[in-house]
Structure 1
Amino acid sequence: MKNFLFLAFTFLLVSACSSKKSLISKSFEKQLSSTFYKNQFTGVLVIDAATKDTVYNNNSHKYFIPASNTKIFTLFAALKALPTQIPTLKYIETNDTLYFEGTGDPSFLHPYIKDSTALNFLQKHSNLVFVSNNFQDEKYGPGWAWDDYQWYYSAEKSGLPLNGNVVMICKNPELMVSPTYFKDSVLELRHKNNRNETSNRFYYPQTKNDTVETPFITSDQTTRSILENLLFKKVGTASIMPSDEKQTLYGTNADSLYVRMMHESDNFIAEQLLLVSAGVLTDTLNGKLIRDYILENELKNLKQEPRWVDGSGLSRYNLFTPQNMVSVLDQLYTLVPKKRLFSIFPAGGLSGTLKNRFVGDEQPYIYAKSGSLSNNYCLSGYLVANSGKVLIFSFMNNHFRASTSEERSRLEQMLLILRDTY
């Protein structure tokens, strides 16, 4: 009798689940077969986080330009490679001289993270020598738009970034410039650009009052000069570190960088996190080293091999499938406690880039990363259904000509169906 009751209960449970999936499938098929989706490419995969059962699948094996959904892979790489505290400097102290090199740590005096661990450490030493040969990467990622050089989201990569590699300019009521090293390089006049293309000459109209955030051109000499301006002392340079064992100085909590990267879709932090991860792995700051390592070791069982060329998703050369995204999200769900994981991702209607989107009734039901480039919009993450069950999803939309707001609106309709039905 007990066996019969158990089998009957199991049958009812399976039937109910099958009925829910059928309702979701019919609703999604109706939406995706509409004329709105006729001239674009769309891929969808939704799975149950607990059972791993597929709830809905459409073109999930096909490649899409992910935009900032790429940061999900960057987050995974950083969580696998980095300790709780970010390595901020490596150094060797010989006699009365401190030789130091960057780790790629983006938090060093970052305008929003504001970590001063490295600065305070350097201030304690009289004779400083900066070594930069461990940075073996390009300033820009492959496929980045060249004419984005003046916009905050396209700051250059470097081995020892300072102030997020951007100049912050505002009036309060006098002209305020950070880093102060660049104060004499700011002209108060109207110009079509925020900065010269080939030099660190910046423009700030006299009538402007808000803060302008503009990337500066990095170089070893510029890094040295900014440091000297901050420390009020000379900084020497050397081509290589001494042969002694390097020591590591640790700085900010890693989660503060992960939250900033995911909530604000901070491209600079994403790129630098790959450099820091590569440095921990190999002692060389090169993003390709960590990307290759993660794909060949931690993600070798992905059903489709991604084309992963940067940390931020600025490049249209990146190619990922919805199955790729869901697989990594699934691994993150296993790797990181749910409360911490959901705090790293933007919450619909509550935080980050989703603060005004995908709003829940009383509490968030979406914890996800959006990704947008012109004519492309993707959203991948976690959905908490009204039943309490967690779904892992990836919606990837490429090459549409309608507005992104309309694309999001239609996506929200499908997400609400998942929330209310499953």
Structure 2
Amino acid sequence: MLNIKQKLNSSHYRYLYKSLFISIFCLILFLAGCSSSPLSKFSSVSTKEPFETSFHGLVVIDANSGKVLHSTNGDKYFIPASNVKIFTLFAAKKMLSKKAPALKYVFRNDTTYIKGTGYPASLHPYFNDSLGVFFLKKQQGISLSLPQNEIPRFGPGWAWEDYDTYFSPEINDFPLYGNVLTAYPENEKRIYPSILNDSVYVKNNPVGREEFSNTFYINQNNNDTLTIPFITAPIFTKKMLEDVLKQDVSISKVFPNSEPQILEGIETDSIAKRMMYVSDNFLAEQLLLMCSSTLSDTLSSKKTITHILENELSDLKNQPRWVDGSGLSRYNLFTPESMVHVLKKLYEELPSEKLFALFPSWNRDGTIETWEELQKPRYIFAKSGGMGNTYNLSGYLKTKSGKILIFSSMNNHFRVPSSKVREEIELILMSLWERY
């Protein structure tokens, strides 16, 4: 029979063994979870070279339940670059009809008064939309009304030296030809619009256009299709309209005080999809102007942004600093949580098939229009956004089991090639696809 001291020792050892067993079991579960968790891969990114001195955020949620699966720096502000276009898409879906408003018009006596809505597709090199031209050719007298407010040709915080680059066309109320000169490399170079033929010089020059005049330069040995923004102005819009309509167009400072009719253009989704697939900055900015045209006669990106933030997105936990439609500005500041919030709203309000069609596929090489991984169906529907020292990716992930996840990976201030960041993002997304 054990004495009291022996009983105490026996109980003490049983307690130690039990505690040790529980500790080992918990440690095994913890290590197993760490080794299998795809999100643990991200947690280590910011502590390993070459990412330890840069800034990274990631939020992943279940699209249907809203459950947060992971959040690192989710409430911190990042420069979003072209991820802003997700908010622009949201605004367009909320404020524009199925068909975009091409122009507003009023018949008065023998004159058709017209005013711009910011519609970007008229005679655009990609859309080649002539609906407005066909309508105006039927009119006997045409008067182009000036916008009620001054529309800045560039967005706030845009880089001034980009004035002649393809991705930085000017913003205006009545765009034509995408607000760019297009030079096609044929046997004899073809210029579009042709009204600018006499303004193009074949000459090796460090810039494609003079900064303050519509004087263009094309290098003699160039064999690519070039797009160079032209300077917009009401008088130049008038000349381009007269050139294509083959009739006089007058300019009016006053639009008749009558309820205008709206000429419908192409489908809004066609414009939005092109914006998302090729990250078209011009289309993004003009979409915001079109949205403001549904509120009043004042065309203003700021007016659209204020309306969306105060109404449709008043429930955002982290209100962004949102200054343009394209993301060209470094003034923009958004959090991964805000990106996921808007993506979830879109998911709840649109059928999945229609929504995912608006987002390009993505792999480590970046945004792609054709999905070539035959061994698996499309599973990443996302918008990327990059500029110097910045790369972000936000969108939807359809997992192997069919579950839909919403994610936002935002990465700023790194000094390595963007390809390194994309590789890390791909590892995480592939692990999520496999596990969930």
Q: What's the TM-score once normalised by structure 2's chain length? A: 0.90
Report if the CA contact (8 A) 1:349-1:357 is conserved.
Answer: no
Change (3 A) 1:60 1:357: farther
Q: Which residue of 1 aligns with 2:406?
A: 392
Superposition deviation, residue 349 in structure 1: 5.5
| Cα displacement string for residues 287-342 of structure 1 (whole angstroms, at most 9, x for unaligned residues) | 00010010011001111110000000000000000000000000000111100110
Q: CA deviation at 1:50?
A: 1.1
Q: Does 1:223 align with 2:223?
A: no
Choose which of 203, 224, 231 in structure 1 pairs with 2:217. Answer: 203
Match of 2:290 in 1: 276
2:427 to 402, 413, 418: 413
Give the stretch that moved more between structures: 33-42 or 314-323. 33-42
Residue in structure 2 matching 1:157, options 171, 176, 183: 171
What is the letter of the counterpart of residue 399 of structure 2? Answer: A
Matched, 1:369 2:386: no
1:68/1:21 Cα in 2 relative to 1: closer, same or farther (>3 Å)?
farther
Distance 1:295 1:233 in 2: 43
Q: Which amino acid aligns with 1:325?
A: M
* Aligned-partner SS, 1:237: strand
1:250 aligned partner, one-letter code: E
SS at match of 1:353: strand
Q: 1:291 to 1:144 in 2, by over 3 A?
A: same
Residue in structure 2 matching 1:213, options 211, 227, 250? 227
CA distance 1:300–1:116, change in 2 (3 Å): same
CA-to-partner distance for each residue in 1:240-292, whole Å, 9 max, x for gaps? Answer: 11122211100101111011000000000000000000001222110000100
Measure how far apart 1:204 and its partner are.
1.2
Offset at 1:413? 0.7
How do residues 2-401 of structure 1 correspond to structure 2 at under 5 angstroms? 23-348=37-362, 353-355=367-369, 361-401=375-415
In structure 2, what is the Cα distance between the partners aligned to 1:362 and 1:21? 24
Distance 1:172 1:117, change over 3 A: same
Instruction: Return the alpha-carbon distance in structure 2 between the equivalents of residues 177 and 276 of structure 1.
Output: 28
**Structure 1 residues 357, 34: closer, same or farther in 2, change over 3 A?**
farther
CA contact (8 A) 2:45 2:52 kept: no
Partner Cα separation in structure 2 for residue 254 and residue 421 of structure 1:
37
CA drift of 1:110 comes to 0.9
After superposition, give the CA deviation of every residue in 1:135-191 in whole Å (9 maximum; x if it has no partner): 542110000000000001000000000000000012321121111111110011111
Question: Identity of counterpart residues, as a percentage?
Answer: 45
Q: 1:327 to 1:396 in 2, by over 3 A?
A: same
Structure 1 residue aligned with 2:8: none
CA distance in 1, matches of 2:167, 2:325: 13
Check the 8 A contact 2:363/2:426 in 1, yes or no: no
Q: Which has the larger radius of gyration?
A: 2
Mind listing any 5+ residue stretches in structure 1 that lack a counterpart? 1-14
Contact 1:104/1:276 (<8 A) preserved:
yes
Q: CA deviation at 1:132?
A: 1.6
CA contact (8 A) 2:116 2:147 kept: no
- Maintained 8 Å contact 1:263/1:351: no
C-alpha change, 1:264 and 1:44, in structure 2 (3 Å) is same
Contact 2:366 2:422 in 1 (8 A): no
Read off the aligned partner of 2:310 and give its amino acid letter.
E
Partner SS for 1:177: strand
Aligned match of 2:21 = none
Q: Give the residue type in structure 1 aligned to 2:161.
A: D
Of 134-143 and 148-157, the range deviating more from structure 2: 134-143
- Partners of 1:350 and 1:359 within 8 A in 2: no
Aligned length: 406
* 1:358 shift after superposition: 10
In 2, Cα distance between the equivalents of 1:146 and 1:281? 30
Q: Is the 8 A contact 2:364 2:426 kept in 1?
A: no
Give the 3 Å change call, closer, same or farther, for CA 102–350 of structure 1 in structure 2.
farther
Q: 1: CA distance between counterparts of 2:46 and 2:369?
A: 26
Q: 1:71 to 1:142 in 2, by over 3 A?
A: same
Which amino acid letter does the alignment assign opposite residue 183 of structure 1?
A: N
- Cα distance in 2, alignment partners of residues 388 and 53 from structure 1: 16
User: Residues of 2 paired with 1:163 and 1:116: CA distance?
Assistant: 11
CA distance in structure 2 between the aligned counterparts of 1:83 and 1:243, rounded to whole angstroms: 24
The gaps in structure 2 that reach 5 residues or longer are 1-28
**Aligned partners of 1:348 and 1:358 also within 8 Å:** no
User: Would the aligned equivalents of 1:63 and 1:320 in 2 still touch at CA under 8 Å?
Assistant: yes
Partner deviation per Cα, 1:21-48 (whole Å, 9 max, x = no partner): 9723433323443222201000110000
Whichever residue aligns with residue 386 of structure 1, its letter is: K
Q: Is the 8 A contact 2:46 2:55 kept in 1?
A: no
With the length of structure 1 as denominator, give the TM-score of the two structures: 0.92
Q: Return the letter of the residue paired with 2:227.
A: E
1:114, 1:350 → 2: CA distance?
32
